[in-house]
Amino acid sequence: MLPIDAALPAHPMQCPHCDLELGLPALQAGQLARCPRCNDVLCRIPLHATDSTLAYALAAMIFLCLSFAFPLLGMTVEGVHQQITIFSSAEILFHEDFVLIADLLLLVLLFTPALFLAATFYVYLALRLNARWPGLRAAAQLAASSRPWMMVDVFALAILVSMIKLASLAEIHFGLSFWSLLLFSLSLTKTASLVDKHWLNFKLAQLYGDDPTQPWTDGEQSCPACDKRNPKDARRCVRCAHRLSTRRPHSLQLTVGLLLTAAILYIPANLYPIMLTESLRSSEASTILEGVVIMWNIGSYPIALIIFIASVLVPIAKFAALSLLCIAAQLRKGAGETVSARRYTQLYRVTELIGRWSMVDVFVVAILVALVRMGKIMSVYPGVAALSFTGVVVFTMLAAMSFDIRLIWDKRVNKENPAHD
């Protein structure tokens, strides 16, 4: 059976970032369309949309299984050999009473990627076979909501940082799962890049006999989950039952609350040790900044910069950016200030993009705690700051997700007079 036609005909849509109602031109495979007002990518159609996505998703699922089936890393110190798997890292953190970090490790490395890949494979295989299988829209929404919480690439970077930290102290061995994890990270990233939400919703609508090319009528609103046009007064989408509202309810209040929680946790995250190292000679506790200084003093300048940027600059930048966005959403400006609104939108996109990379330091601690367990020769234990810093990363990510960027455009664009755009 031939794959479905990847091309999209001309049709109306609503920009998810600035709410501009526009007519999307016909698009062929390999093309993309951007919003003329906020420059957001509205739709990107990959070449061989269904076949490529299925192939990469299947490869990622195979490498996912291999990543958890064999040893990840090994270390030899004075004749004592130690090796770990991803499961053993989570198990050791659990026994050290860092249950939340252990659960998060399995969530972002196993469960969330597995859900994303299974949902994506299910939906795209149904499209490939032109089959109306049950739960396709729910699976598409599951794939979209799980994407921000996949952190396999961040964990791969943490492994490299850990290896450089231990290179002068022990002999390091890479297990089969290390190479599988690298291939898993690449194939997962490629799969995620091939999944376009708008294209997927359009093709699912066609699969179920809907006509998304019909022109907009007055008093309609677009469902943020499936792009279905609903009456203005509808409370739930008639297609997917997603809750509808003109703007995300209590967006600013929720964003500010989550941001304040993260800011409070950021204080103990920097004051208390994130890692404790014990050996025959000494016992040493190090904070995040002390870890940066140690790596700098031994000449590992790239690693010191990576940790400093990910663990110090990125959280501070997110605090500043989200605070600025909340203030901008409250300040009313003159109509037609599209340039400033576009800049705030770009700032918001960057804030969403960089947030999860702060987890690299937490993953480094998880790897070292599991790998360096040599009794009195050398052992590493997690510090209380690891839990606080994990909270900082999670709450800043949630704060960015809860912020409704359309509030910025509400204050700065006169929607009744499109000539200002």
Same domain flag for 406 and 275:
yes
Same domain flag for 280 and 330:
yes
Same domain flag for 6 and 66:
no
Where do we find the tokens 């062929």?
Answer: 28
Same domain flag for 262 and 394:
yes
The reported pLDDT for the residue numbered 253 is 93
Residue 195 pLDDT > 90? yes
Same domain flag for 78 and 120:
yes
Can you give the CATH number for the domain in which 408 is found?
Answer: 1.20.140
Q: What is the pTM of this model?
A: 0.88
Nearest partner of 77 among 147, 173, 216, 221, judged by Cα = 173
Helices (H), 195-308: 197-207, 251-271, 288-297, 301-308
User: Residue 260 CA to chain centroid, in angstroms?
Assistant: 21
The reported pLDDT for the residue numbered 418 is 41
Same domain flag for 148 and 104:
yes
Does 219 reside within a domain?
no
Same domain flag for 135 and 264:
no
Q: Decide which of 391 and 228 is more confident.
A: 391
* pLDDT mean over 191-218: 86
Model confidence at 206, pLDDT cuts 50, 70, 90, reads confident
The domain in which residue 277 lies consists of 250-416
- Specify the DSSP class assigned to residue 175: -
Same domain flag for 412 and 307:
yes
The chain-wide mean pLDDT, for the chain, equals 85
Same domain flag for 18 and 98:
no
Does 269 reside within a domain?
yes
Share of the chain above pLDDT 90, in %: 35
The reported pLDDT for the residue numbered 378 is 67
Residue 84 pLDDT > 60? yes
Does 226 reside within a domain?
no
Same domain flag for 57 and 34:
no
Residue 417 pLDDT > 60? no
Q: Rank 61-70, 77-86, 367-376, 379-388 by mean pLDDT and report only the highest.
A: 61-70
Does 222 reside within a domain?
no
Angle at 55 between CA 24 and CA 127, to 5 degrees: 50
Same domain flag for 167 and 124:
yes
The reported pLDDT for the residue numbered 419 is 36
Same domain flag for 11 and 62:
no
Please say which residue of 45, 61, 76 terminates a domain.
45
How far apart are the two ends of the chain, measured CA to CA in Å?
A: 46
Does 229 reside within a domain?
no
* pLDDT mean over 55-78: 90
* pLDDT mean over 374-384: 74
Residue-wise DSSP of 32-75: EEE-TTT--EEEE--TTHHHHHHHHHHHHHHHHHHHHHS--EEE
Whole-number CA gyration radius for the chain: 24
The domain total for the chain is 3
Does 104 reside within a domain?
yes
Does 230 reside within a domain?
no
Does 187 reside within a domain?
yes
